[in-house]
Amino acid sequence: MSPSPIVRPAAAVIAFALAACGRSSSPAPPPVCALPTPQASALPAAQVLRLGTHGVGETVSFQVPPGTGSVTIVQQGTQPSAAQTVTHQGEVLGNTVVPWTVKVGGTEFFNDGAVAPADPAAWGTPNGIGSIYFGTEAVWTGSMTVPNTTNMLDYVDAHGGVPSGSWSVEVNDYARECRGTTGCVVGDGKSGYPAGSYDVTVLLKAGPVVSTGTLDVTFYLVTDRLDAATAPASGSVARMEQTLAGYLAGAGISLGTVRFVDLPPATKARFAAGVDADDTSPCGEVASVLQTSGPGNTMNLFLVNHLTSTQVGTTRVVGVDGTVPGPSSVGGTVASGALVSVEDLAVGQGTAACAGAVNLAGCGADGTAYVAAHETGHFLGLYHPTESYGTLFDPVKDTPTCACTACAPPTQVASCLQSGKPGASTYEVTGADCTKQLSNPSSPCGGGENLMFWLRSAARSTGALTAQQSRILRANALVE
């Protein structure tokens, strides 16, 4: 076991035990909202291992056959009174559920206490730490899909599948880690929160993962501008589907069955003025929308009129994914899909803007499809190749990076985030900064055209996906 510089498993367990002793004087708070109970996977039974409910600190084991293409570990909360947040050195974080360790045959492939570097693509080895990456907020429901790194893709190449044999996963959440960490507070710091417990399900996808696949999509219509009866005949919807299919094809994935499902009229009315994207907690509006998804092995895309922010002056978003990756094939959870704004959908429809090649500048359906494809990429396991400040990168080697200090305009380099937390003047890398490699292959500044780049630009976003990104997408259990 590789101890963390700050959080050690033993320390966490001891601290948790002490906290448990002190709980009697402070009652647990009531649940703050109705959280969903564990939901079942829609995959065939042979692909699903239901391992039951386990408290944090417990280790669960299961067998993975040789030649398996991917493994997805889905953990769904069962203790609604558990804390939903932790405050670590003044920063409020969601109580993310993530395994403390993942081992195969005694070899540790993941340890949440092991600190990944800013560029995890070059971190670790294919046969140990650094081969599985996790970097998302995932409260109440958390998923981990393997492979999601270049290291693990290399392992798959060498062994014909992900690690086989006896896997063991130590159930864990941030509250457990927090209890063993100086300067960390669980929940409000006053109530006696019970420890988290989670239903653990493992999804197996048989290998080898081939160069093509099919992804079914369900469009849940939160928007009141579309209904399931007429949406299939809508020109703008058809254009969106066509463009989405084109982006997926870049990864060797065909768009399979497309379904449209109306949410109840009252739900449509409730969210007609937008879904508040500020609160991404399991009690927030995003989660309450995602919970309405039904069972099925499909990518659930919730089309909303728009996404709003109640923060003064904060620019809202046009897409939101539940978690990276999502709980593939498991509907009805707080993370079972992604939300996509359709406020631009009809723009340009019926004109030349939407008649030819993809046109992000003039065809709203194309822009909507781009966001849908981007959020699908997150759900299937992809991160932004370069995050906004140009200091954090994805765990995939063949995605070009765009470090702020190397790629920002000369007048802005001093505003690049050097260390610590970003401030109001911290520079963000843009498409212009991160597409220099296209014209100058020796430039270190790339990835701005990639589908998973954090910005969409009519001039620069091509929706490109690299070979390794495509392999990660196709390895997901959702892709058949």
Partner 1 sequence: MLAAIALVAATLAAAPPVAAPSDAEVRAHVEALLGAIDTPIPAARWRALGPAAAPALAALAASEDQMPSTRSKALAALGAADAGEAERISRVLVDAPDAPLTVRQTAVRTLGHVLAPARLRAALAPVLRAALPVGLRAVAAEALARHAGQDACAEVMDQVSLEPAADHPRFERAAALCAGRR
- Considering only residues 352 through 371, tell me which ones interact with partner 1, judged by CB under 8 A: 364, 367, 371
Q: How far is the CB of 213 from partner 1 (least distance, A)?
A: 24
* CB of 88 or CB of 259, closer to partner 1: 88
Q: Cis omega before residue 208 (within 30°)? A: yes
Of residues 241, 375, 394, 449, which one binds partner 1 by CB under 8 A? 375
Among residues 405, 411, 454, the alpha carbon closest in space to that of 431 is found at 454
**Beta bridge partners of residue 102, listed in sequence order:** 110, 169
CA gap 132, 136 in Å, rounded:
13
Count CB neighbours of 118 within 10 A. Answer: 13
Which runs of consecutive H residues, i.e. helices, occur in 81-199? 150-159, 174-178
List the structure tokens of 336.
Answer: 């079972």
**Beta bridge partners of residue 143, listed in sequence order:** 74
CA gap 308, 222 in Å, rounded:
14
Of residues 174, 247, 260, 302, which one binds partner 1 by CB under 8 A? 174
Q: What are phi and psi of 135, to 5 degrees?
A: -155, 60
CA gap 70, 161 in Å, rounded:
8
Of residues 310, 350, 351, 444, which one binds partner 1 by CB under 8 A? 310
Q: How far is the CB of 220 from partner 1 (least distance, A)?
A: 17
- Residue 68 identity (one-letter amino acid): T
Count CB neighbours of 209 within 10 A. Answer: 24
Q: Assess 40 for contact with partner 1 (CB under 8 A).
A: no
CA gap 72, 74 in Å, rounded:
6
* CB of 49 or CB of 116, closer to partner 1: 116
Of residues 105, 165, 265, 444, which one binds partner 1 by CB under 8 A? 265
CA gap 110, 90 in Å, rounded:
27
* CB of 199 or CB of 375, closer to partner 1: 375
Q: How far is the CB of 181 from partner 1 (least distance, A)?
A: 6
Site for partner 1 in 88-107 (CB under 8 A): 88-89, 91, 93, 96, 98
Q: How far is the CB of 446 from partner 1 (least distance, A)?
A: 16
Binding-site size, partner 1 (CB under 8 A): 85
Of residues 28, 347, 406, 438, which one binds partner 1 by CB under 8 A? 347
Q: Assess 161 for contact with partner 1 (CB under 8 A).
A: no
- Residue 128 identity (one-letter amino acid): G
Task: Compose the 109-148 pattern: x for residues touching partner 1 by CB under 8 A, - for all others.
Answer: ---xxxxx-----------------xx-------------
Count CB neighbours of 195 within 10 A. Answer: 20
| Length reported for the chain | 480
Q: How far is the CB of 235 from partner 1 (least distance, A)?
A: 17
Query: Are 301 and 376 within 8 A, CB to CB?
Result: yes
Q: Assess 7 for contact with partner 1 (CB under 8 A).
A: yes
Which of these segments, 62-70, 207-215, 339-347, 350-358, binds partner 1 (CB under 8 A)?
339-347
Q: How far is the CB of 311 from partner 1 (least distance, A)?
A: 7
H or E stretch covering 46: none
* CB of 101 or CB of 308, closer to partner 1: 308
Site for partner 1 in 429-458 (CB under 8 A): 430-432, 454-457
Q: Cis omega before residue 385 (within 30°)? A: no
Site for partner 1 in 183-222 (CB under 8 A): 183-184
* CB of 207 or CB of 367, closer to partner 1: 367
Q: Assess 325 for contact with partner 1 (CB under 8 A).
A: no
Q: How far is the CB of 291 from partner 1 (least distance, A)?
A: 17
**Beta bridge partners of residue 221, listed in sequence order:** 262, 303
Which of these segments, 60-68, 143-151, 293-301, 425-433, binds partner 1 (CB under 8 A)?
425-433
* CB of 128 or CB of 422, closer to partner 1: 422
* CB of 96 or CB of 164, closer to partner 1: 96
Of residues 1, 414, 440, 444, which one binds partner 1 by CB under 8 A? 414
350: left (phi over 0), alpha (psi -120 to 50) or beta: left
Count CB neighbours of 448 within 10 A. Answer: 28
Of residues 24, 25, 411, 439, which one binds partner 1 by CB under 8 A? 411
CA gap 42, 329 in Å, rounded:
5
Of residues 105, 409, 440, 444, which one binds partner 1 by CB under 8 A? 409
Q: How far is the CB of 410 from partner 1 (least distance, A)?
A: 8
Among residues 336, 440, 450, the alpha carbon closest in space to that of 382 is found at 450
